[in-house]
Amino acid sequence: MAVANAAPITAMSFNVPIAIGYGNGLGAPAGFLFATIVLTFFTIGFVSMSKHITTTGAFYGFISHGLGQVAGMASGLLATVAYVIFEGSLIGGFAYFAHDAVKTSFDVNIHWIIFALAGAVLIGVLTYYSVTLTAAVLGVTLVSEVVLLAALGISVLIKGGPDGYLFSETVPIGPAFGNLDGAAFGTAAAAGTAAIGIFFAFWSWVGYETTAVYGEESKDPAHIVPRATLIAVVGLGLFYTFMSWMVIVGQGKTKAVEYSISAAPVDLWLTLVKDNLGGVALGLYKILLVLGSFACAMAFHNAASRYIYALGREAPWAGVRNTIGSTNAAHQSPAVASWIQMGITILLTVLFFLFTAVSVPGADGAAAVDTPELVPYVNMYGLLALIGTAMILIVQTICSAAVISYFFVKKVHPGNVMWSLVCPLIGGAGMVYALSLLWQNREFAAGLGAGSKVFTFMPGYVLVTLALGIG
């Protein structure tokens, strides 16, 4: 479930072009490696606490035990808001590629909002019936995604690329912190910032900690949760680093940047799939890209519903506990919380449809052209992902402090100095660094959302959410 939340084909297709074209350029794989290291340190501390605590609201429960219920409620609300908008982000990506796939395959132009609304409703219905059904749907797409991506990576590893394997320029940690140069390799690229590359690398992992969210539903959470969570973070990290490296190798320096800054950045992957694996694989990749984004949105819906449910269960008002904090008698799923999540996703979709726009530069310096079909990808996916990931990194940093407090301040259980003190300290410091990079480059980041200023108000969203949680 945790790996499906991260949706490998969605993470690679959506995030790698952004990292290459607007972030750390050829250092994108190094950005994934940096995120792997930071999250591994964080996860070691996280799972050392999960051996003693089983809770539906993972971050909320852990922080409550380590720093108190006030800090837990505030952080839990922040994590809930993040997961709520993550479904909207992925619904945007799903709608964009579903619209494009139908249009290019059948020459039928169905507006993207139809796919978005239909996807949100279908997810609400499917997740109403239980985690088992959702896990089965996710599992089919997940296995297919991993097999196809692995086949692509191996094909590039065997064939090589026009500029060689470029290992020293892509994989070691150093390039993760370099900025893409303007006009890099003779392209029309503007100067990028490492903050974007590193941040979209972290976004590719969001959701892996949901192994702890489902702890109450597993038979042996004390052993299953730590093992599954560590496998998820390390396994995803190695796979992401390898695949982002291979796509750069396969395309070569110039084409990798050119595709990433183009009006169709996913061609970074599609053209390589066609060249190396053939037309049948290309068709399958497109299908899996649509299904993968849908499955990922479904996984975030499940997680968000359980966060809402967990907060409702702890609410001081009986009416809230008996509705939002209740489960369906027949399916034992958090039905009311699930319907609330579906309603919020639909509202976000309508708001982006009505009040946002995207323009792309015209040919040969002509005036910018309004491109409404890019709204779900550029605005919904990109902007909501940035805001939500920032919130999750803040919560994970607080969770690192909670782990240390749980073992060494409250001393609820004996703590290992390396696993329960040093590791969460290093992980927390790494996430603070990533957040500081994003803050320093917030104006550039907002530009990814078609010049939107919504992102620049992110500190306000965070402070208001934390205040509501404390209140």
Question: Tokens in use for 190?
Answer: 């503007």
pLDDT in the model for residue 68: 92
pLDDT tens, position by position, 196-218: 899 999 999 887 766 655 555 55
β-sheet bridge partners, residue 369: 360
pLDDT surpasses 50 at 450: no
pLDDT in the model for residue 447: 62
Look at 175-184, 374-383, 438-447 and tell me which has the smallest mean pLDDT. 438-447
pLDDT surpasses 50 at 340: yes
The CATH number of domain 2-470 is 3.90.1330.10: no
- Burial of residue 333, with CB atoms counted within 10 A of its CB: 0-12 exposed, 13-18 middle, 19 or more buried: buried
Three-state DSSP at 369 gives strand
Q: Which residue spans within 285-424 are E strands per DSSP?
A: 359-360, 369-370
pLDDT tens, position by position, 14-71: 999 989 998 999 999 999 999 999 999 999 998 888 778 766 556 878 899 999 988 9
H/E stretch holding 281 reads helix 279-313
Which pTM was predicted? Answer: 0.88
Pairwise CA distance, residues 54 & 335, whole Å: 21
Question: Tokens in use for 127?
Answer: 């997740």
Q: Domain map of the chain by residue range?
A: 2-470
Q: Please report which confidence band the pLDDT of residue 326 belongs to, taking 50, 70 and 90 as the band edges.
A: confident
pLDDT in the model for residue 459: 62
- Closest to 346 in 3D by CA, of 81, 124, 78, 93: 124
Task: Between 191 and 272, name the one with better pLDDT.
Answer: 272
Cite the DSSP H helix spans in 314-334. 318-323
The secondary structure of 218-271 as a DSSP string is SS-HHHHHHHHHHHHHHHHHHHHHHHHHHHHHHHHHHHHHHHHTSS-TTHHHHH
pLDDT tens, position by position, 286-301: 999 998 898 889 888 9
Maximum Cα–Cα distance for the chain, whole Å?
67
Q: How far is CA 269 from CA 11, 92, 277, 288, 389, in A?
A: 12, 19, 11, 13, 24
One-letter amino acid for residue 306 of the chain: R
CB 380 within 8 A of CB 352: yes
pLDDT surpasses 80 at 467: no
Pairwise CA distance, residues 295 & 367, whole Å: 38
pLDDT in the model for residue 331: 61
Task: Between 236 and 456, name the one with better pLDDT.
Answer: 236
pLDDT in the model for residue 379: 84
pLDDT in the model for residue 343: 96
Percent helix, strand and coil across the chain, each rounded to 5? Answer: 80, 0, 20
Q: How far apart are the first and last CA of the chain?
A: 33
468: region left, alpha or beta (phi > 0 left; psi from -120 to 50 alpha) = alpha
